[in-house]
């Protein structure tokens, strides 16, 4: 599966056109091709701009002084005279809460991703084995959970009453640990690994776990990369489970912490409590934006590097399982 | 059988964690749908609380919300599915036609960006732009001499806003599947068409779009299967708990959540949840059967 070639390289048609173009000057691009090209560039260009502008607006606002934000609102263009890192200073004035949230998020994301990838690949491998007699039955057993579920209430009661996940780190890890879709992605990827590898290793006396760990996993690097990214993104961006299960402030994850900050009253309370600033003068508007940047930063900085694997993963997943 | 178990015991062991997982988090909660017919008592839990007949469902009907949330869920999802197809397929086709590699790559990366943020951050973006007193939108409007626009007092604006927000977040990601399908197309077909004198627009109209129909069908089918399932994060993080906006923005998922977490109305919430699960199940089974009849290749299972 040459997922590399999926989207980022132009198709042959275009390469052909390019070749023609360089061969005899750009004139060879026909008129209709040019018009498609221009219309395409304009439309997707505008859409792409709409995708980044909000991020730009938040960054600009987070670096503008609170006085200016109160007086003139959130800026469109940077107000050079009013640039300030006051909002960040305020966020970091009492860094314990943010550091705790960071620690929590990184820990949950790390552990959770590892477990989720292990579970998806291990299950996917068993179900991809053609000599495993009950693979269709088990596949359906898993797949059925995507067709029908008991709804929020029984699941919630299961988690809080019977598994006691309230205010526990496990409560942030378990709910996102297994996804049938990721398992299907793993299965359809592993079906593509030649069965002879497993067979010959069996003849050499290797057991199934050894085969999986020593042979199959090393051959599944693109799959592992993709699943890791899916899981890591789900864990990093999770606020839902934290909102449901966590009431202890020391255990808030970044996204949930941000959610609380964005609710003004809550932010005021936190700031006033922790830094002793009188309520009316609490610079909130800038702080909300700065906090958004702090909570989003790592994942957005990482994304140019990992985007490629998402593209791969989607293509792996597009193969029907 | 026993021989098989002996031979494959290690594979079964490897399957065990995931099996336990779905039993604990999916199958046991499925038995919990009986909560919909019970009067929840903390001491009794799921299984020992007293039966309540159909009273939870009666309460659900009396609340008068059921129709509203079902309609909203359905209409929003219809819009998401069909506009999603148009946006994702459209941008994939257009991206594919762009000759400049650098431009194409840049645009694609930018379109992917919103996919990476949480709905909480999307909520922050909404606050930045549409905040009544200080939002960017009102800054522009008032500086142009218009009167400020109060989004949180204008329920009618929300469908457009939420649909846009959803498309904004999903399009870059969704277009990848279509792009992959386009790259997989037989290039000789296009070359032959060029020789026959087809122009670039005609090739899109008569070759690219028809070839993408199988991909489109599968994605639409997946969407329809979940047509009664609302995107909780989208609605929860943007609308917050504004009662004024609920007629236009309340979906089944937010309703079930509110009943359970805010009102502590476990029984009625379970009833609403069961209603949703059954609706979803019926839709997906019927939908799959119809598709299977028409063309088995497109079927989900």
Alpha helices in chain A (DSSP H): 12-23, 31-62, 66-72, 86-93, 95-128, 135-147, 152-157, 169-173, 180-191, 195-203, 208-210, 217-219, 221-236, 240-245, 254-262, 264-275, 284-318
Mind listing the pLDDT tens digit for each residue in A209-252?
999 999 999 998 888 988 888 899 899 999 999 999 998 888 99
Residue B227 phi/psi, 5-degree rounding, is -70, -20
Mind listing the pLDDT tens digit for each residue in B61-99?
888 888 999 999 999 999 999 999 999 999 999 998 888
Residue A281's pLDDT is 52
Residue A212's pLDDT is 93
- Chain B, 250-279: which have a CB under 8 Å from a chain A CB? 253, 256-257, 260-261, 266, 269-270, 272-274, 276-277
User: Which residues neighbour A190 within 8 Å (Cβ) at sequence distance 6 or greater?
Assistant: A121, A124, A125, A128, A216, A220, A223
Highest mean pLDDT (candidates A100-114, B130-144, B193-207, B229-243): A100-114
What whole-number distance in Å separates Cα of residue A158 and Cα of residue A174?
Answer: 12
Which of A129, A153, A237 minimises the CB distance to B260?
A153
Residue B275's pLDDT is 93
Residue B92's pLDDT is 92
Which carries the bigger pLDDT value, residue A315 or residue A144?
Answer: A144
Q: How large a percentage of chain B has pLDDT more than 70?
A: 100
Residue A319's pLDDT is 46
Q: How large a percentage of chain A has pLDDT more than 70?
A: 81
End-to-end CA distance of chain B: 26
B183 vs A contacts (CB less than 8 Å): 5-7, 9, 11
What average pLDDT does this structure show over B290-297?
A: 80
Residue B244's pLDDT is 83
- Model confidence band, residue A8 (pLDDT cutoffs 50, 70, 90): very low
User: Domains of chain A, with CATH numbers?
Assistant: 32-84 (no CATH), 88-314 (1.10.3720.10)
Q: Is B20 on the interface with A (CB under 8 A)?
A: no
B285 vs A contacts (CB less than 8 Å): 147
Nearest to B183 by CA among A64, A240, A8, A252: A8
Contact by Cβ (8 Å): B224, B84: no
Tokens 């805010």: give the residue: B262
Q: Which two tokens stand for residue A4?
A: 């590399």
Contact by Cβ (8 Å): B66, B78: no
Residue B178 CA, chain-centre distance (Å), reads: 18
Mind listing the pLDDT tens digit for each residue in A31-48?
888 888 888 889 999 999
Tell me which chain B residue has its CA closest to the CA of residue A264.
B127
A68 vs B contacts (CB less than 8 Å): none
Q: Is A64 helix (H, G, I), strand (E, B) or coil?
A: strand
Mean pLDDT for all residues in chain B: 88
ipTM: 0.90
A143 vs B contacts (CB less than 8 Å): 301
Residue A53's pLDDT is 92
Residue A134 phi/psi, 5-degree rounding, is -105, 25
- Model confidence band, residue A10 (pLDDT cutoffs 50, 70, 90): very low
Residue A131's pLDDT is 87
Contact by Cβ (8 Å): B108, B284: no
What average pLDDT does this structure show over B287-291?
A: 85
Q: Structure pTM?
A: 0.87
**Lowest mean pLDDT across A63-72, A301-310, B172-181, B264-273:** A301-310
What whole-number distance in Å separates Cα of residue A173 and Cα of residue A113?
Answer: 9
- DSSP single-letter state for residue A26: G
């Amino acid at each position: 599966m040459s997922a590399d070639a999926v989207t980022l390289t132009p198709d042959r048609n275009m390469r052909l056109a390019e070749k023609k173009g360089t061969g005899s000057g750009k004139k060879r691009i026909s008129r209709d091709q040019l018009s498609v090209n221009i219309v395409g560039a304009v439309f997707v260009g505008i859409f792409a701009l709409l995708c980044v502008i909000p991020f730009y607006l938040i960054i600009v606002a987070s670096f503008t002084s609170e006085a200016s934000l109160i007086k003139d609102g959130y800026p469109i263009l940077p107000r050079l005279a009013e640039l300030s890192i006051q909002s960040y200073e305020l966020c970091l004035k009492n860094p314990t809460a943010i550091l705790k949230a960071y620690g929590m998020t990184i820990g949950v994301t790390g552990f959770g991703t590892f477990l989720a990838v292990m579970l998806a690949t291990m299950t996917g491998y068993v179900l991809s084995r053609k000599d495993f007699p009950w693979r269709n039955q088990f596949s359906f057993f898993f797949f059925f959970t995507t067709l029908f579920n008991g709804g929020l209430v029984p699941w919630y009661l299961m988690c809080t009453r019977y598994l006691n996940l309230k205010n526990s780190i496990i409560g942030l890890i378990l709910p996102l640990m297994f996804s049938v879709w990721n398992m299907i992605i793993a299965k359809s990827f592993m079906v593509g690994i030649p069965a002879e590898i497993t067979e010959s290793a069996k003849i050499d006396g290797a057991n199934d776990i050894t085969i999986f760990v020593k042979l199959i996993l090393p051959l599944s690097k693109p799959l592992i990369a993709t699943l890791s990214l899916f899981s890591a993104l789900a864990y990093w961006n999770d606020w839902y489970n934290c909102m449901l299960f966590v009431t202890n402030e020391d255990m808030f994850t970044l996204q949930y912490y941000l959610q609380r900050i964005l609710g003004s009253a809550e932010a005021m309370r936190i700031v006033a409590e922790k830094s002793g600033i009188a309520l009316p003068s609490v610079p909130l508007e800038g702080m909300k934006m700065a906090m958004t940047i702090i909570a989003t930063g790592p994942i957005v900085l990482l994304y140019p590097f990992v985007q490629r694997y998402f593209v791969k993963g989607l293509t792996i997943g597009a193969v029907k399982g | 059988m026993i021989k098989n178990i002996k031979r494959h015991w290690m594979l079964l062991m490897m399957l065990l964690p995931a099996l336990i997982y779905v039993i604990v988090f999916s199958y046991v909660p499925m038995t919990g749908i009986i909560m919909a017919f019970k009067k929840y008592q903390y001491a009794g839990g799921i299984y020992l609380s007293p039966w309540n007949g159909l009273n939870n469902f009666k309460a659900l009907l009396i609340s008068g919300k059921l129709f509203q949330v079902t309609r909203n869920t359905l209409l929003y999802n219809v819009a998401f599915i069909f506009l999603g197809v148009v946006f994702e397929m459209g941008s994939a086709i257009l991206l594919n036609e762009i000759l400049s590699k650098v431009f194409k790559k840049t645009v694609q990366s930018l379109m992917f960006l919103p996919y990476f943020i949480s709905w909480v951050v999307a909520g922050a973006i909404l606050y930045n732009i549409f905040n009544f007193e200080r939002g960017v939108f009102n800054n522009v409007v008032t500086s142009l001499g218009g009167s400020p626009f109060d989004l949180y007092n204008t329920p009618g604006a929300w469908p457009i806003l939420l649909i846009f927000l959803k498309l904004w977040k999903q399009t870059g990601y969704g277009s990848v599947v279509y792009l992959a399908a386009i790259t997989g197309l037989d290039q000789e077909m296009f070359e032959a068409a060029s020789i026959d004198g087809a122009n670039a627009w005609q090739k899109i109209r008569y070759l690219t779009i028809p070839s993408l129909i199988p991909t489109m069908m599968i994605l639409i089918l997946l969407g329809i299967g979940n047509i009664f399932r609302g995107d909780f994060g989208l609605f929860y993080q943007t609308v917050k708990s504004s009662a004024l906006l609920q007629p236009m923005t309340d979906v089944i998922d937010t309703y079930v959540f509110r009943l359970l977490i805010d009102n502590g109305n476990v029984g009625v919430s379970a009833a609403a949840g069961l209603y949703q699960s059954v609706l979803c199940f019926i839709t997906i089974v019927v939908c799959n059967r119809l598709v299977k009849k028409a063309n088995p290749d497109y079927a989900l299972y």
